[in-house]
Every structure is written in C-alpha cells, then in structure tokens.
Amino acid sequence: MQILIFGAGAVGLGLANCLIKADHTVHLIGREETVSALSIDGLERTGLFGDFHAPPFAFSAFCNLDESESGPYDYILICTKSYDTRNAGEMLAAAPQLKTDRTQFVLCQNGWGNAETFAAFFPTEQIKTGRIITGFRRPKPNQVDITVHADAVHLGSLYDDDLEPLEPLTRALRKGGLPTKITEHIEKDLWSKMLYNCMLNGLSTLFGVPYGRLGESEHTRELMSRIAHEVFDIIKATGHNTHWDSAHDFLIAFYENLLPPTYQHEPSMLQDIRSHKPTEIDALNGAVVALGKKHGIPTPVNQTICSMIHFLTSQFERE
C-alpha cells in the first residue's frame, strides 16, 4: 500500500514505523529538522512492542507536499496537532494528485471537531477517525519511544457504517506491532478519550506533574470530578454517547482501571509548554466550552483550565 503520514511528530513517527515494518510504502511530511534527521539516520522505535530501526532508504520524508512525486495514496494519516487540522485539509485539497475517490483520510489526533473541520474539504465517506491511547514520546527528531499502551488503536467513522476500507490499514498496523481494531463505536471512544484528556492534560500541565499525582490529592480529584460532570452535561446536550451512563460511573472506571496504567505519563501538552509551543487545549477543554456556549450549558471549570493554559502560552509571545 501507499501511505502518506501528514505530520511527523511522535504519533506520526510511531504509526509510520509500524507501517514500514509491515513492508508498506510510507512517505512522511514533517518539519525540516525532523526530515533531515530521518533522511540521515532513519527512523528508530524503542520502548513497548520492541525496538525497530527503519533505514533511510526504507521510506521517504519531505517538508512539503510538492516535494513528493508519489501518489495517489491508499491512506493519508493526519497526525498533526489539532490546531493544524484546517491547514492540513487546505493543503491536501490543493494537491489532487495525492488522492483518488478511494483514498481514506484517517484522523489520528486529540480532541473533538477534527472530522467536522476535514469534512469542509473532502467527502465524509472518505473521512475516518482513529482513537489512540498509546503514549508516544519523541526523545530525538528521528526517534519514537512507546512509553504507555492502555488499549488497542481503534479505527472507525463518525459518518457512515462502511468500515471495510479500514481493513488493510488495520492489518498493516497489527503486522507492524501495534494492536489495532475496527469499531462501530468510534464516537463513544472519542468522548471517552475526551473525558480522560480533559480531566488530566490541562491539570498535569499546570501543575507540572504526571497523571498519577493528580489522583492522589483530594483537591485535584475534586477538580477532575467537576470536569467530568461538565463533559457529561455536554455529551447529553449534544446527543452524543460514550461508554458510561453517568459521570459517577465513569469516575469509578477512571480511578480503578484507566488512571493506574498511565500513572507516570506526562501529556504532550506539558511537553509543548516546556518547549514554548502551542497546545491543543482548544480541541479538548476548549471544545467542551465552545459546545457549552452553543447549547447554553455552563462549563466553568473547563473554562478556567482553558484560560490558565492560554495565559501560559501568551507568555511565550512576549519573550
């Protein structure tokens, strides 16, 4: 298969490495520093699921879409940060040689609203969504370290029931060492991840601690409980669904099953703040706030988290 990875950050490199290991043709679009390192030293994977090194000749990496003469692609995996989703859609829409009416765009990003953004550029039957709760870390520009794996990658669609086009990609990721399965319940999965990320990412970033530390304090547990209840209010108001009927049920599962495996994990948002980069807060707690305003649902704690993260990022602009 011909596969394009749009966004060569930690997630993009993690997925690319698995697909290269499964003997598929992979091209990456990334920043200049990353592309240079990949072209010289290849792509290295360490951590969970074993080590694997893909030499430079096993794949291609480019800074711009017009540098690649390949295509059309069977799959285009969108692995940018959520704040770059619209830009990715615009760039891909302006490159018709990269796709056909059978190309599947798979959004492998955090947050809510990415599929809606992409639907402004491509038919909904070509838009698929991935839920990834594997921890990918990038110690070096050409290295991805898999630190946490809470569950298999889930692939599905928010728009239709035709999931057969995802079968070859699912098999390829499995062959490359990453547990993956197709689901008819990707909406529930995404809102489950939204609950998890909204409760943990902002607070972990603000306090500079791994996830598990937040669960040890009554003060942060109270904040996380309020966030969860606000998110459930939004889920109900918007007609969406998740795997639990109430915030109470989710919180039991959260503390018993979901938080312990990721006790030492730090979110990419904290890493972004440390590197003075933008964050995905607007696609997480910010998306909850936006939907709350649209439907008349108060979300004061999510709003506070957003405001505090925005304050941190605004300080970078003053330096």
Distance CA 18, CA 62 (A): 19
CATH superfamily for 188-318 is N-(1-d-carboxylethyl)-l-norvaline Dehydrogenase; domain 2 (1.10.1040.10)
CB burial readout 64-94, b (16+ within 10 A) else e: ebeebeebbbbbbbbbbbbbbbeebbebbee
- What's the whole-number average pLDDT of the chain? 95
CATH number of 2-183: 3.40.50.720
| pLDDT for position 169 | 98
**pLDDT tens across 204-256, in order?**
999 999 999 999 999 999 999 999 999 999 999 999 999 999 999 999 999 99
pLDDT at residue 248, as a whole number: 97
Segment 113-140, tens digit of pLDDT: 999 999 999 999 999 999 999 989 999 9
**Where are any strands of DSSP class E within the chain?**
2-6, 25-29, 43-47, 52-54, 60-62, 75-78, 104-107, 127-131, 134-140, 143-149, 153-156, 180-182
Which of the following is catalytic: 188, 193, 277, 294?
193
Residue 135: beta bridge partners? 148
Q: Which sequence spans correspond to the domains of the chain?
A: 2-183, 188-318
DSSP 65-130: GGG------SEEEE-S-GGGHHHHHHHHHT-GGG--TT-EEEE--SSSSHHHHHTTTS-GGGEEEE
- By the 8 A CB rule, do 172 and 1 touch? yes
In this prediction, residue 150 carries a pLDDT of 84
pTM of the model as a whole: 0.94
3-state helix, strand, coil split of the chain in percent (to 5) is: 50, 15, 30
Edge-to-edge strands of the sheet including 143-149?
52-54, 43-47, 143-149, 134-140
Residue 69 has pLDDT above 80, yes or no: no
pLDDT at residue 319, rounded to an integer: 58
For residue 99, pLDDT beyond 80: yes
What is the predicted pLDDT for the residue at 105? 98
Instruction: Determine whether 99 is an active site residue.
Output: no
